[in-house]
Amino acid sequence: MNKQVQRPRRSVLYVPASSEKALAKIGQLACDAVIVDLEDAVAPQEKAAARARLAAVFSARPHRCEMAVRINPLSGEWGNDDLAAAIACAPDAIVLPKVETARDILEADDALDDAPAPDALQLWAMIETPKALINIGAIAELGRDPASRLTCFVAGTNDLVKDTGITPGPDRGLLLPWLMQMVLAARAGGLDLLDGVYNDFRDGDGFARECAAAAAMGFDGKTLIHPSQIEAANRAFSPSPEALAEARAIADAFARPENISKGVIALDGRMVERLHLAQAEKLLAKAAAVGA
Ligand code: COA
Ligand code: MG
């Protein structure tokens, strides 16, 4: 599949497929993407009814926002029914929970080969278990494989905390090594990377702080649980005015006739190389994509 076409994923809201009220809100929200959730947000006795709602949700989909479906694990009792229902809705992506090996992705890829428009369907992998982190390099390599639909990693921090037994501590200190491992792997595999959720949705200051930290760590966006988190995430994962001004200055400097053939130049007393130009161009493209 063509993995080059990328949209901004600053704010990605989970919407439980068990909540009619929440589902009805999707069209009014300013998030970059929505993950309609059939997994952890939906109680076992509600799984079938939640799945049956997907078709109506997708028939009313707003076209400005990317829409994904998180299914239950394919190894469990609901996964295959979820997958069939999701495929029928032609979402932008299917989010696979509890991915632990590259084989998990390959099996999902195989299952999608018979979808009506298989090339338009991406796979996003939740990284949320100790085993996923052990195997993350091999999983990420599928991002470079044109035959795989893997385009994005989604950090599942609540499950990671549960499975490891850690207490993350202030500013998620003990989670940081694993989050940075995800950053490295995602970049090695050319994948987008979304941070985990911030549970305390009434704490706007704490949320903004966590977004700023995640943006500095290299995450492309954050998964969200509540509409009140959208605006702050959009802001935090958009290029700042200062960063944009610097990127423009670098692009302008290399465009000057005397610098066209130079590999390295001085700009305001600092060394600037063509790798910085590439970085600046990437930032300018991102700004254009989010309308900054
Ligand atoms: N998506 C869309 N709408 C949402 C929403 C979401 N994730 N979370 C809340 N809303 C809506 C509510 O339905 C409510 O709508 P209303 O104004 O029509 O009544 C409005 O936003 C305000 O909600 P609020 O009363 O502040 O929160 P709540 O108590 O209804 O819900 C949660 C709180 C945490 C239960 C809810 O936000 C939620 O379910 N979040 C997603 C959880 C999830 O998907 N978890 C799995 C992934 S980690
Ligand atoms: Mg989870």
pLDDT digits (tens, 9 = 90+) for 108-145: 999 999 888 778 899 999 999 999 999 999 999 999 99
3-state helix, strand, coil in the chain (%, to 5): 50, 15, 35
How many CB atoms are closer than 10 A to CB 122? 22
pLDDT digits (tens, 9 = 90+) for 35-90: 999 999 999 999 999 999 999 999 988 778 999 999 999 999 999 999 999 999 99
Assess whether the C-beta atom of 227 lies below 6 angstroms from ligand 1: yes
Q: What is the DSSP letter of 196?
A: -
Torsion region of 90: left, alpha or beta (phi above 0 gives left; psi -120 to 50 gives alpha): left
Return residues with CB closer than 5 A to ligand 2 (ion).
128, 156, 159
CA distance 142 to 126: 14
pLDDT of residue 5: 63
> Which of these, 126, 143, 181, 150, lies nearest to 12 by C-alpha position?
126
pLDDT of residue 114: 84
pLDDT digits (tens, 9 = 90+) for 236-292: 999 999 999 999 999 999 999 999 999 999 999 999 999 999 999 999 999 999 987
Ligand 1, atom 19: nearest CA belongs to which residue?
Answer: 21
Pocket test for ligand 1, best of 46, 67, 201, 226 (most atoms within 8 A of CB): 226
CA distance 5 to 154: 18
Ligand 1, atom 25: nearest CA belongs to which residue?
Answer: 226
What rounded mean pLDDT belongs to the chain? 96
Pocket test for ligand 1, best of 53, 161, 198, 225 (most atoms within 8 A of CB): 225
Q: Which residues contact 249 (CB under 8 A, 6 or more apart)?
A: 267, 268
> Against a cut of 0.95, is the pTM above it?
yes
pLDDT digits (tens, 9 = 90+) for 79-95: 999 999 999 999 999 99
pLDDT of residue 63: 76
